[in-house]
A and B are shown apart, each in its own frame.
Chain A
Amino acid sequence: MGLFDKFKKGLEKTHDLLRTDIRDLFKSEGQLVDEEFLDGLFERLIRSDMGVKAGQEIIDEVRTAYRGRVVEMEDVLDTIKKKLKELLAQPADPIRFADSGPTVIMVCGVNGCGKTTSIAKLGQMFHEQGKKVVLGAADTFRAAAVEQLTVWANRLGAEIVTGPEGGDPASVAHRAVARALEINADVCIVDTAGRLQTQQNLMQQLTKIHRVLGKQIPEAPHEVILVLDATTGQNGISQAKHFTEAVQCTGIILAKLDGTAKGGVVVAIRSQVGLPVKYVGVGETADDLALFEPDPFVEALFEDVEAIK
């Protein structure tokens, strides 16, 4: 299965729901765009978790363009798509590798969002690209977090650097990069413990890890990935803000998009924090990762609606 297919698989449920919803809105021929119509449309947007602000912006646009008119559905859809694409506009944004030496990737996020699994997925992707990978188990806090990453390392055939339970995560991160340098690895991915963005001590700890990495290799970490659970609501905005403040995130992996959650909060994050989505996670195995592309993402949300017309 190609990456794009996987990506679509992940989105299928998402747009199945949206498709039916939107379709309901449009009776066979045209429909009058009045406040009731707009309210119904608003509901559909909100249900994607894009938030009141982004949803309202889209509605305002539709209202200005169509109010009081009887419309064909593709006109309205085009407007919505255009708006969403504008909001999400970015070139596809895969991992950017260091010019020379190992590329260091730091992965962070709130508790249980899918960090460790996403690392396994990235590792698998690099492995397929013929790259040598070192994993750093810098989650020294959560019960059996090291064992979890070790299982993945063994499955991938990647080397892993661990530390004692309850030990200093920055020192594990440091040793992981040192090991990557030593064995000439292409990529070093550092796992971190889940933390809520409001916990100042823990956010400072994250900043420290970031700093330690930068001391070893001046440009490191080359990528700082924020993993975001697709089921997350508006709190995702706060997550993006605070993690970016603490460690200058370079992009998002949107995990668990294989459920019915739509992950629409990335729309709000994009417009308020500016953080792009790099990949989406669409399952629990190491293969379930796909590059995020905004245009097909938006198109995929609505393409069946058009097919039905």
Chain B
Amino acid sequence: MFESLQQGIGSAMKTIRGHAKLTEGNMRDGLRLVQQALLEADVSFPAVKDFMARLTEQALGEKVLKSLRPEEHLIGIVHQELINLMGPVDHSLHLRGDVTVLMLCGLQGSGKTTTCGKLGRMIHERGRKPMLVAADLQRPAAIQQLEVIGGQLGLPVYADKEATDPVTVCHNAVKQAKQIGAEVIILDTAGRLHIDAELMAQLERIDKRCNPEQIYLVVDAMTGQDAVNSAKAFNEALELDGVIMTKLDGDARGGAALSVKAVADVPIKFIGTGEHMDALEEFHPERMAGRILGMGDVVSLVEQAQQKLDQDEMAKQEAKLRKGEFTLDDFKKMLGQTKKLGPLNKVMGMIPGMGNMADALGDVDAEKDMKRLVGVIDSMTPEERRNPTKTIDQSRRRRIAAGAGVEPHEVNELVKQFTGMADLMKRMSSMSLRERMKTMQQVAKGGMMDPGGRLSKQKQSTGKRLTPKERAKQKKLREKEKRRKKRDEKRKG
């Protein structure tokens, strides 16, 4: 249903164009589909209404009606408007020089405790000293839950099992933090209904006593129309500073992001993408807009691809791929084409589900890697480029490496990756665009491929839970890999 938004609008416009010219009335059919898509994505009705009013004005303007591809134009406007509504971004935690208090609040089960751990981890990684505070005295074993999380992360947890008043707990925690030298205090409050006056007043008391620098509302991405009610009430009680949206690792469209933004008007800071402590990402309105529309940013990617890529060249390569004649030369050409679309991580970020990959690439200099790859290919003979696996032996490898100024094993890696990629491309060439995107996403999730020419860090959870044994094994492997790298570096240096 969501996937077909673009097609739906496309065919609505086509029927129209079949018999007459595009008119206002016809355009309204397209608009109705947009409205439906937003509602199906759980954007609150009032927010959709506002949105549609603005969209209609633009869509019925001359520019769109007269454009060559009104459906694309319309989608483009929708997309941009969504981005405008969900921005601007502000990923800062506003940490102060001395002690900063962050407070998390939200409905029951929205993900506060988990997010408390994730934030603690993130802050710790940035070199600051966090302390988690177990201020949920309501839910059975809530304190233990935070203690386990703190233990896993090696972070201090302030808890008082005898306490009955969370306000006191928070207050004492702040005092304690100063003693143990903690710099950032994260308050994990109990989940509550926004209509529970008593418990909302309690939150206000915590706010007054501890004066948090930032108060974040934790919202479940699966929330429906009720998101506006709760966000409004929490914002009125506490003056929120931001929102964290959780459970975006599933298939929820996450329209609540728009609803919450509409009533609270505070930045959406982070998104939770898994149960593990590293599954916290910065929020990006473009990706979210694509998700709500069920199309990622594919539209603009395709648009750009059509504008900037040499279509003949692409067609030629596609034919070669299908026949299995794709060589390193073609690979090089493709790398060149891809570059035209912009920085690699930006391109990756536009593909739905590949956000993680873009992040993984973030600290890798993809451009530089690409140049190195091209250098390696350039150092090969035509025969080697056509048939790398068969021709390149040890001595050739050394020669190529010397020519390109890289290590011989890097030549090997390139060849291996090329073969894997050519294989994948061959399979993909017979697929529709949608299927291709899906395959790409699967590949990205599996952490197999990275067009920058390295194995990417795997970040996205596949939902597999490792046993302690498996975890230990993985850790060992990682350490082994680290040692190997060090050895390599020594040899080089």
Contacts and interface: CB of A to CB of B under 8 A. Distances in A.
Contact of A232 (B222, B464, B465): B222
Interface stretch (B161-169, B247-255, B308-316): B247-255
Nearest to A199: B463
Interface in B239-283: 247, 249-253, 255-256, 275
Given A232-B224, A235-B253, A166 B467 contact: yes
B275 A198 contact: no
A196 B108 contact: no
A234 B41 contact: yes
Contacts of A262: 225-226
A49 B226 contact: yes
A238 B465 CA distance: 22
A1 interface: no
A269 interface: no
Sorting the interface of chain B by its residue count into under 10, 10 to 19, 20 to 34 or 35 or more gives: 35 or more
B39 A52 contact: yes
A52 B195 contact: no
A196 B45 CA distance: 26
B462 A47 contact: no
Given A114-B109, A202-B463, A235-B250, A46 B194 contact: no
A43 interface: yes
Nearest to B467: A166
A7 interface: no
B250 A110 contact: yes
A141 interface: yes
A48 B141 contact: no
Interface string A221-257: 0000000011111111010000000000000000010
A51 B37 CA distance: 11
Contacts of B226: 49, 230-231, 259-262
A110 B247 contact: yes
A229 B222 contact: yes
Contacts of B56: none
A49 B224 contact: yes
Contacts of A143: 113, 144-146, 148-149, 152
A211 B468 CA distance: 25
A152 interface: yes
Contacts of A114: 108-109
Contact of A111 (B49, B107, B111, B462): B111
A197 B251 contact: yes
A256 B230 CA distance: 13
B32 to A, nearest CB: 10
A289 interface: no
A195 interface: yes
B42 interface: yes
Interface in B120-164: 138-142, 144-149, 152
B464 A144 contact: no
B111 A147 contact: no
Contacts of A195: 463
B220 A148 contact: no
A12 to B, nearest CB: 11
A142 interface: yes
B225 A201 contact: no
Nearest to A203: B463
B338 interface: no
A82 interface: no
B40 A52 contact: yes
Interface string A36-52: 00000001001111011
A144 B251 contact: no
B15 interface: no
B220 A46 contact: no
Interface of B: 36, 39-42, 44-45, 49, 107-111, 113, 138-142, 144-149, 152, 193-195, 220, 222-227, 229-230, 247, 249-253, 255-256, 275, 461-465, 467-468
Given A201-B465, A229-B109, A234-B40, 15 more contacts: A111-B247, A111-B275, A148-B141, A196-B251, A198-B251, A198-B463, A200-B462, A230-B226, A234-B41, A235-B252, A238-B251, A259-B193, A260-B226, A260-B229, A284-B138
Closest 4 CB pairs of A and B: A233-B224, A112-B109, A199-B463, A233-B42
Interface of A: 13, 43, 46-49, 51-52, 110-114, 141-145, 147-148, 150-152, 166-167, 195-202, 229-236, 238, 256, 258-262, 265, 284
12 contacts: A43-B45, A52-B36, A112-B220, A113-B109, A142-B145, A142-B275, A148-B145, A151-B141, A196-B247, A196-B249, A231-B226, A260-B229
